[in-house]
Amino acid sequence: QVQLVESGGGSVQAGGSLRLSCAASGYTADTYYMGWFRQAPGKEREGVAAIYNNVGATYYSDSVKGRFTISEDYAKSTVYLQMNSLKPEDSGIYYCAASSSPNRRGDWWLFLRPAYNYWGQGTQVTVSS
């Protein structure tokens, strides 16, 4: 079992920055990749960034590419999401997720909910105009 706890959410004006953290505990050696998702009210949860554990390969959705950076501190079992140039449409609950199975389908799989079997509780991000 792996437990994920997000932190770092908050309110910021458009153009500002936030850094989210996801602390993993439990049998973290069992995870192959981790991702960040977000969900706005009335919308589907969407994947925005992913990283392969201990390899460092990163992937981003088109909506955040160039503005968000996912990284990991393997020694601390923590994954970060640095969010710059925030827009009101970035608002929502941000979730951290991890997978205990290797990805055998392709990079596109990293942005879909079924690709992950561990989830955090989420942290709220609000960007005002």
The pLDDT tens digits for 61-96 are 999 999 999 999 988 899 999 999 999 999 999 999
- The average pLDDT across 2-13 equals 97
Burial class, 103, CB count within 10 angstroms (exposed 0-12 / middle 13-18 / buried 19+): middle
28-46 per-position pLDDT tens digit:
778 899 999 999 999 999 9
Render pLDDT for 42-67 as a digit per residue (tens, 0 to 9): 999 999 999 998 788 999 999 999 99
Q: What is the mean pLDDT of the chain?
A: 95
The DSSP element (H or E) to which 121 belongs, if any, is none
pLDDT at site 27: 77
DSSP-derived 3-state class of residue 44: coil
